[in-house]
Amino acid sequence: MSGKSPLSFAAHWLKRLLLGFFGLLLLYQLWLFGWVLWWSWVNPDTTRFMEIRLGELQAKDPKAQLKKQWVSYGQISSHLKRALIVAEDDLFVHHEGFDWEGIQKAIEKNRKKGKVVAGGSTISQQLAKNLFLTPSKTPWRKAQEAIVTLMIEAVWSKQRIFEVYLNVIEWGNGVFGAEAAARHYFGISAAQLSAEQAARLAGMVPSPRFYDRNRGAPGLASKAEAILVRMPSAQIP
């Protein structure tokens, strides 16, 4: 060990391991940022969430495929845009990726319930998770979600964030994006959605696969009614 004590030798290698770890972590962040830059003008063909759901479906049926179809921002009903802003992130056009008041309310609600019942995630945070991460709720995943959210908010316009979100979020068992959802539930295009239909779709977002199986759930009807009332005041990019 060239005269080094065992302790100093261990410290030397620990330092090298830590440097290597942080170097790999930095490379991973740069890789993610590269995708964020690419998707600022190229539409994502698939996401991490889509890959996970497709794997689950194909484990039961090897021929299973996802239902998804990209459409431009202008081809999506403004009713759906307003409904999602109301349901998921009413301060979307104003914040820079995080709704601190909403997060505080979620923490307080979870504390009172004694379990996680609310997340306080913004549309930008949800998009970051759907594009790159997994449904797990570990501290590492939440930290990575925050980093990707900052990347997206720094590079993309609010309209681009919302356009990608509308096209990649899960809306049922193997159903992704506004166009596929509109056709799956109503047999029409995303551009044709009425205010009532949009409110119903927005109400499904937190538990899309559950509502796909239970379309007559009374809770969904009441959520849709509450969303519909607030939609006229929603600000969209």
Q: pLDDT digits over 101-114, tens only?
A: 766 765 666 556 55
Identify residue 127 by its one-letter amino acid code: L
Report, as an integer, the average pLDDT of 67-87: 98
Long-range contact pairs involving 106-112 (C-beta distance under 8 Å, separation at least 24):
none
How far apart CA 236 and CA 158 sit, in angstroms, is 9
Angle between helices 123-132 and 78-88 in degrees, nearest 10:
100
Give tens-digit pLDDT for 8-61.
767 666 777 777 777 888 899 999 999 999 999 999 999 999 999 999 999 999
Q: What is the mean pLDDT of the chain?
A: 90
Domain ranges of the chain: 1-38, 45-233
Report, as an integer, the average pLDDT of 72-100: 94
Fold exhibited by the domain 45-233: Penicillin binding protein transpeptidase fold (1.10.3810)
Q: How would you class 44 by CB atoms within 10 Å of its CB: exposed for 0-12, middle for 13-18, buried for 19 or more?
A: middle
Give tens-digit pLDDT for 149-205.
999 999 999 999 999 999 999 999 999 999 999 999 999 999 999 999 999 999 999
Does 109 or 232 have the greater pLDDT score?
232
Give percent of the chain with pLDDT exceeding 70: 88
For the beta carbon of residue 186, count every other beta carbon within 10 angstroms: 15
**Per-residue pLDDT at 77 exceeds 60:** yes
Give tens-digit pLDDT for 107-138.
666 556 555 544 569 999 999 999 999 888 88
